[in-house]
Amino acid sequence: MFNDTRVVYKYPIAAGGVTRIKGWFSRVFAVGEQDGELVLWAENSLTRTDFHTGEKVLKSEDEKIEIEVLVIGTGWNYIENTAGIYIGTVQMSDGLVWHVFVKPW
């Protein structure tokens, strides 16, 4: 069996809201601030093993999945079982603090 080819992509996300992102996600692993913007880093799996030939092939655009990223501020209300998996907290250079959740796919 072949190992998948993986790459890390950076995605801008909206502070204080929901952002929908499409990709070939294998895992989401970090959030932070870059150049004053809130961003998320996720590992994408670019290849898969073909069922018939057993060869490694590139994934198509149709194989992308969409995830929802929820960003809430400190002191904001949210519903625990609908927020998703906690990814991290980011303190921005402007002093705002954001908490980031991703809904499982």
Task: For residue range 6-48, list pLDDT tens digits in order.
Answer: 999 999 999 999 999 999 999 999 999 999 999 999 999 999 8
Residue 87 lies in a domain: yes
Residue 25 lies in a domain: yes
Task: For residue range 56-98, list pLDDT tens digits in order.
Answer: 899 999 999 999 999 999 999 988 778 899 999 999 999 999 9
Phi, psi at residue 89, to the nearest 5°? Answer: -120, 140
**Contact yes or no for 82/70 (Cβ under 8 A):** no
What total of structural domains would you count in the chain?
1
Residue 96 lies in a domain: yes
Chain centroid to CA 94:
23
Chain centroid to CA 70:
10
| DSSP E strand boundaries for 1-105 | 6-12, 18-23, 25-34, 37-45, 47-49, 56-58, 65-73, 85-91, 97-102
Residue 68 lies in a domain: yes
Structural domain harbouring 12: 6-102
